[in-house]
Chain A
Amino acid sequence: MTRTKTAEKELICILCPLGCKMIVSGVANSPEDLTFSGQQCKKGREYAYEEYTNPTRTLTSTVVINNAPLARLPVKTSKPLPKKLIYTAMEEINKVELTAPVKIGTVVIENLLNTGIDVVSTRSLG
């Protein structure tokens, strides 16, 4: 016997200023059976599907840099990161220590948490 888990989640669409409140319900491990309500357009449904099944965020932060005009260098993830990894990713980012000069786009963490996503510098410094 397979266990089915029913789920219901409220989401706010970020695609336009309307900010539709959408409700996603259905079976968590069966994406094709999800039902959506509250959205006013097709794109909203697509967003809700993504946001429900695999929410991701671009994470931006800073890292320590030595021998530079400033003590911190801004960085970002090269691609949106699974949302649930944000805090663990911050721990990794907080460990980084660089020495200037650093060019914009330099990879400062490769393959962050085995996601295939890098952390790259977002400015040149030093």
Chain B
Amino acid sequence: MYDVAIIGAGIIGTAIARELSKYQLSLILIEKDSDVANGATKANSAIVHAGFDPEPGTLKAKFNAEGNQMYPSLCKELEAPFGQIGSLVIAFCAEEMKTLQQLLARGLENGIPGLEIIDRPHLDQLEPGLNEKALGALYAPTAGITDPYLLAIALAESAAANGAEVLLNSAVTSIAKNESTFTISCGDKKIEARYLINAAGLYADKISAMIGPAEFTIKPSRGEYFLLDKGTGSYVRHVLFPCPTALGKGVLVSPTAHGNLIIGPNAEAIDSPEDTATTASGLKYVEEQAQKIKIKLPFDEVITTFSGLRAKTEKGDFIIGESTASQGFFNVAGIDSPGLVAAPAIARYVTGLISDKAGSLKLKDNFIIRARSYKPFMSLPEAERVRMIAADPGYGRIICRCENITEGEIIRAIHGPVGARTVDGVKKRTRPGGGRCQGGFCGPRVMQILANELDKKLPEINKDNPGSFILSGTTKNRAIDPRKLGAVGKCLPQTAGLVVETGAKAIYDLLVVGGGPAGMAAAIAARQSGVEDILVIERDYELGGILQQCIHNGFGLHQFREELTGPEYAERFIDMFKEAGICCKLDTMVLSISSDKKVTYVNMIDGITTIQARAIVLAMGCRERTRGAINIPGMRPAGIFSAGTAQRFVNIEGYMVGRKVVVFGSGDIGLIMARRMVLEGAEVAAVIERKDYSDGLVRNYVQCVEDYGIPMLYRHTIVNIKGKNRVESVTIARTDEHKQPIEGTFSEIECDTILFSRGLIPENELSKEAGVELDRATGGPVVNEAMETTVPGIFACGNVVHVHDLVDWVTDESYRAGKGAAALISGAATRQESNSFFHTKPLKNISYIVPHRVRKELIKDSLELYMRVRGNHENCALVVKADQQVVKRIKKRVLTPGEMVTIKLKKSDLPEQVFENLSVEVAKEAG
């Protein structure tokens, strides 16, 4: 028998549970989902509203004003993020300026402090760069931003630490009123409680109807959002709103508590409380509205889109109080915006209601304010980080490379009082998968950690609710026991035969970031050129990079004159690397690189260490473009992978990612994975390509798609993804010449898995930090003929510079980078900013050229230009010009964007006299 049962563990249920847990009461928090904070709390604007918006006299007005005042101290004591950045409601016409006056009056009546209407000049000081039509704004300094799910989790864990029971995966099926108690049934499970609080969000009307006639109806309203990459949060300083309308507060633009930019929502009434799909039209509307506030928003940095549901009622105000139908039953319902900010005030009020009913409540004398630490490891002072790594080396191991989340934090989240049990649970608590790769790299590692800590097998780990399985089994139909993999089940470094030092020297001649094919080749070339003092830092547990998962053949034809598989190519370089005795650190993450070549890294053994390098080679490779980044609408169930992540699961880990697959995009990895899935017993329902040709090599089309009779749908796109827990189908449509879907051509393909093969993006977050100039066309550093970037002494090679088609070219380019770095270290090369410097210039139908700048007198015998063309061309010529003078014309039977083009120029091809630009263009060739 419990004193109080709370149904629903969103921000409201958890806040009430935590408030009640301060008193001597026995409590149970009942949640239908697999985790707390899984409904509206998971997907909203995350704004702590100031409180000028609700109509005076309403519960919304009261609890918004009170809640806003409680937030700073609440978030501080729970270590939840909170930033009181203030909000601006912006007026774009005289009519809207009047609205601001009304809002101000309302705000004053609601008792909101600090409100002020400001004119355009003042607005420009506070928030530069707004749309020029903005006339003025209502400034509310007390508005803020938070992390709603982390806050709800911290509240739930505090309640749990104070004795509240948290019952997950338990949907309430019926409620019986006894004389002075309630019996709550969750299927077969029965729970008895004296008082019952209905905080069931979107389902509150159904819970309420279990004890009497319907008192209210919840009408779900859906809002769609864009989330942009970390760092974009600095595009704006405040929470920016348009003027509110009858439909709501409108599309806002705001930084998030984690430095992202959030843009949304629209508001659409929907029928189902489970329909969290995004739509093309909704997102388009959000984008258009946001641009009215600020024109230059970086929509090219979108990392995901999502939608959240609000539990609206026809009444419009919160419904809080004892049910008229049943004594002891309290509704806390209809909590749409500003529910998040109101939550702590509502919790305090509801506690008062219980106290009134039950007689005065007695405070506990040993209340635990916070169950555990919630601060991100990387946000802690350095001394504390060092101490934590010494006590638990797991804090020295980065699992999420985008957000720099450590294994220690993930394990801490799993073993909290309301611990993470799912991949999404880990993401909500510590954010791996919340970054730009959307779990592409860390997903498999997070699953491994969950399996290890919970003593489960990998296929038992769900994304979210039961049914949201990520893996459908193992390859070869042979079970895998992660415990038997021992050290490597935990991915410990594979150091056999390698020179691995503990600790580091203060200075290295050459530091190479990345131990894939590019980094290894650069290090080997530098060693051959006489550089003794080299350190290679690799984030994975072995060398070889992405080649280790590319088990297909087709590598090495140019370097070795034979056809190798990816792992074979990697092993040849690993052997050379070992032979050369080059020092490396595995399982080590570089955290930052400065323009004066100071490099900070972290690992389990050395902790956080900063070293100085004379030269650096950047060889971090690339990542895959995700579903979120290309904005495909629909649901977000399990079963959506980038092709490379699936490749890792299938080829390295030995797990199947699904049984009926649709591949979206016809890049080489997508085509190769289509074949792999078929060979491992899955069905590939279709490969879908928006254009009328494949991005992949002809050979891969023939040998991966045609050989296996896989339907190849050119000029099609995915317009919707269906499935609540696991993918159930995709809706496809024909595309027009702009690759946009054509209305009326929609059809559905049943599948349980979607593999995205929609391109690769060089990983240049560290390069940016070092001040390296990037080329927008490649996404990689601007480099010279020796692969040196715009920062002296920092070189770059491989896919971090531009995405290559063949690893053989990566090797060539990396040898050049290694030699260039060696020349710099030995003092042979000094930077020459003379007029002998010329630039390469991509002209007609050439999308980019690497290198970007060339020091003419440093060309030894020949100069190689790497480029990609735009569009398909037959019977054409590549024309190279030094300023206006044609220096070379190369006939080509065919040019396609999928293949990198190399032009080799002899030194004698170039004119003697000084010229500014060396351009390349595609020209028609007669006949």
Asked if A57 meets B476 with Cβ closer than 8 Å, knowing A62-B651, A123-B571, the reply is: no
**B548 contacts across to A, CB distance below 8 A:** 123
Establish whether residues A12 and B651, one from each chain, have CB atoms under 8 Å apart when the complex forms. Answer: no
Establish whether residues B568 and A104, one from each chain, have CB atoms under 8 Å apart when the complex forms. Answer: yes
A16 CB–B CB distance under 8 Å:
yes
Of all chain A residues, the one with the shortest Cβ separation from B549 is A74
**A86 contacts across to B, CB distance below 8 A:** 679
Of residues 702 to 719 in B, which have CB atoms within 8 Å of A's CB atoms?
702-703, 706-707
**B896 contacts across to A, CB distance below 8 A:** 17
Q: Among the listed A66, A72, A122, which residue makes an inter-chain contact with B568, where contact means beta carbons less than 8 Å apart?
A: A122
Asked if A122 meets B894 with Cβ closer than 8 Å, knowing A12-B698, A70-B485, the reply is: no
A57 to chain B, nearest CB (A): 6
A92 to chain B, nearest CB (A): 12
Establish whether residues A17 and B703, one from each chain, have CB atoms under 8 Å apart when the complex forms. Answer: no
B448 to chain A, nearest CB (A): 12
**B-contact bits for A44-60, CB 8 A (1 contact / 0 none):** 00000000000001111
Establish whether residues A123 and B702, one from each chain, have CB atoms under 8 Å apart when the complex forms. Answer: no
Of residues 55 to 81 in A, which have CB atoms within 8 Å of B's CB atoms?
57-64, 66-72, 74, 76
Which of A40, A61, A68: most chain B Cβ within 10 A? A61
A85 CB–B CB distance under 8 Å:
no
Of all chain B residues, the one with the shortest Cβ separation from A13 is B698
Of residues 867 to 919 in B, which have CB atoms within 8 Å of A's CB atoms?
874, 893-896, 898-899
Asked if A69 meets B568 with Cβ closer than 8 Å, knowing A16-B893, A19-B698, A64-B478, the reply is: no
Establish whether residues B476 and A123, one from each chain, have CB atoms under 8 Å apart when the complex forms. Answer: no
B817 to chain A, nearest CB (A): 26
Of residues 338 to 387 in B, which have CB atoms within 8 Å of A's CB atoms?
none
B86 CB–A CB distance under 8 Å:
no
Q: Among the listed A17, A64, A122, which residue makes an inter-chain contact with B476, where contact means beta carbons less than 8 Å apart?
A: A64
Of residues 11 to 58 in A, which have CB atoms within 8 Å of B's CB atoms?
12-14, 16-19, 40, 57-58
Establish whether residues B893 and A18, one from each chain, have CB atoms under 8 Å apart when the complex forms. Answer: yes
Establish whether residues B571 and A62, one from each chain, have CB atoms under 8 Å apart when the complex forms. Answer: no
Q: Among the listed A40, A60, A63, which residue makes an inter-chain contact with B565, where contact means beta carbons less than 8 Å apart?
A: A60
Which of A40, A69, A71, A94: most chain B Cβ within 10 A? A71
**A58 contacts across to B, CB distance below 8 A:** 553, 563
Establish whether residues A14 and B703, one from each chain, have CB atoms under 8 Å apart when the complex forms. Answer: yes
Q: Among the listed A13, A60, A69, which residue makes an inter-chain contact with B551, where contact means beta carbons less than 8 Å apart?
A: A60
Establish whether residues B653 and A72, one from each chain, have CB atoms under 8 Å apart when the complex forms. Answer: yes
**A70 contacts across to B, CB distance below 8 A:** 485, 488, 652-654
**A111 contacts across to B, CB distance below 8 A:** none
Please classify how large the interface on chain B is, using the bins under 10, 10 to 19, 20 to 34, 35 or more: 35 or more
A90 CB–B CB distance under 8 Å:
yes
Of all chain B residues, the one with the shortest Cβ separation from A96 is B476
**B698 contacts across to A, CB distance below 8 A:** 12-14, 16-19
Asked if A122 meets B567 with Cβ closer than 8 Å, knowing A12-B706, A72-B652, the reply is: yes
**A40 contacts across to B, CB distance below 8 A:** 893
B878 to chain A, nearest CB (A): 14
The CA of A59 and the CA of B697, in the complex, are separated in Å by 18
Establish whether residues B565 and A122, one from each chain, have CB atoms under 8 Å apart when the complex forms. Answer: yes
The CA of A70 and the CA of B551, in the complex, are separated in Å by 14
Establish whether residues A14 and B568, one from each chain, have CB atoms under 8 Å apart when the complex forms. Answer: no
Establish whether residues B898 and A74, one from each chain, have CB atoms under 8 Å apart when the complex forms. Answer: no
**A68 contacts across to B, CB distance below 8 A:** 485, 488
The CA of A83 and the CA of B703, in the complex, are separated in Å by 10
B349 to chain A, nearest CB (A): 55
**B595 contacts across to A, CB distance below 8 A:** none
**B653 contacts across to A, CB distance below 8 A:** 70-72
Of all chain A residues, the one with the shortest Cβ separation from B494 is A69
A107 to chain B, nearest CB (A): 15
Establish whether residues B703 and A74, one from each chain, have CB atoms under 8 Å apart when the complex forms. Answer: no
Of all chain B residues, the one with the shortest Cβ separation from A40 is B893
B552 CB–A CB distance under 8 Å:
yes
Of residues 672 to 710 in B, which have CB atoms within 8 Å of A's CB atoms?
679, 697-699, 701-703, 706-707
B486 to chain A, nearest CB (A): 8
Which of B480, B552, B898: most chain A Cβ within 10 A? B552
Of all chain A residues, the one with the shortest Cβ separation from B497 is A124
**B652 contacts across to A, CB distance below 8 A:** 70, 72
Please classify how large the interface on chain A is, using the bins under 10, 10 to 19, 20 to 34, 35 or more: 20 to 34
Establish whether residues A14 and B699, one from each chain, have CB atoms under 8 Å apart when the complex forms. Answer: yes
**B488 contacts across to A, CB distance below 8 A:** 68-70
Establish whether residues B553 and A72, one from each chain, have CB atoms under 8 Å apart when the complex forms. Answer: no
Of all chain B residues, the one with the shortest Cβ separation from A95 is B476
**B553 contacts across to A, CB distance below 8 A:** 58, 60, 76
Establish whether residues B475 and A62, one from each chain, have CB atoms under 8 Å apart when the complex forms. Answer: yes
B570 CB–A CB distance under 8 Å:
yes
Q: Among the listed A13, A17, A67, A122, which residue makes an inter-chain contact with B898, where contact means beta carbons less than 8 Å apart?
A: A17
Establish whether residues A18 and B894, one from each chain, have CB atoms under 8 Å apart when the complex forms. Answer: yes
**B570 contacts across to A, CB distance below 8 A:** 123
Asked if A74 meets B701 with Cβ closer than 8 Å, knowing A16-B894, A18-B894, A62-B654, the reply is: no
B566 to chain A, nearest CB (A): 8
Establish whether residues B874 and A72, one from each chain, have CB atoms under 8 Å apart when the complex forms. Answer: no
B303 to chain A, nearest CB (A): 30
B437 to chain A, nearest CB (A): 22
The CA of A19 and the CA of B480, in the complex, are separated in Å by 42
Q: Among the listed B478, B565, B893, B894, which residue makes an inter-chain contact with A74, where contact means beta carbons less than 8 Å apart?
A: B565
Establish whether residues B899 and A17, one from each chain, have CB atoms under 8 Å apart when the complex forms. Answer: yes
The CA of A58 and the CA of B893, in the complex, are separated in Å by 28
**A76 contacts across to B, CB distance below 8 A:** 551, 553, 565
Of all chain B residues, the one with the shortest Cβ separation from A41 is B893
Establish whether residues A61 and B551, one from each chain, have CB atoms under 8 Å apart when the complex forms. Answer: yes
The CA of A69 and the CA of B491, in the complex, are separated in Å by 8
The CA of A18 and the CA of B895, in the complex, are separated in Å by 8
**B484 contacts across to A, CB distance below 8 A:** 66-67
**A66 contacts across to B, CB distance below 8 A:** 484
The CA of A1 and the CA of B381, in the complex, are separated in Å by 92
Asked if A61 meets B679 with Cβ closer than 8 Å, knowing A74-B567, A83-B707, the reply is: yes
B477 CB–A CB distance under 8 Å:
yes
**B480 contacts across to A, CB distance below 8 A:** 71
**A17 contacts across to B, CB distance below 8 A:** 697-698, 894-896, 898-899
**A59 contacts across to B, CB distance below 8 A:** 679
Establish whether residues B485 and A12, one from each chain, have CB atoms under 8 Å apart when the complex forms. Answer: no
**B563 contacts across to A, CB distance below 8 A:** 58
Of residues 541 to 568 in B, which have CB atoms within 8 Å of A's CB atoms?
548, 551-553, 563-565, 567-568
**A16 contacts across to B, CB distance below 8 A:** 698, 893-894
The CA of A90 and the CA of B697, in the complex, are separated in Å by 24
17 additional A-B residue pairs with CB within 8 Å, beyond A68-B485, A74-B651, A124-B571: A12-B702, A14-B702, A16-B893, A17-B895, A58-B553, A59-B679, A62-B475, A62-B654, A69-B486, A69-B488, A70-B652, A74-B567, A76-B551, A76-B565, A83-B707, A90-B679, A122-B565
List residues of chain B with CB under 8 Å of any chain A CB: 474-478, 480, 484-488, 494, 548, 551-553, 563-565, 567-568, 570-571, 651-654, 679, 697-699, 701-703, 706-707, 874, 893-896, 898-899
Listed from nearest, the 10 A-B pairs whose CB atoms lie closest are: A69-B488, A123-B567, A72-B654, A14-B699, A19-B698, A74-B551, A71-B654, A18-B894, A71-B480, A122-B565
18 chain-A/chain-B pairs, Cβ below 8 angstroms:
A12-B701, A12-B706, A14-B698, A16-B698, A16-B894, A17-B697, A17-B895, A17-B896, A58-B563, A62-B551, A67-B484, A68-B485, A68-B488, A71-B654, A122-B567, A122-B568, A123-B568, A123-B571
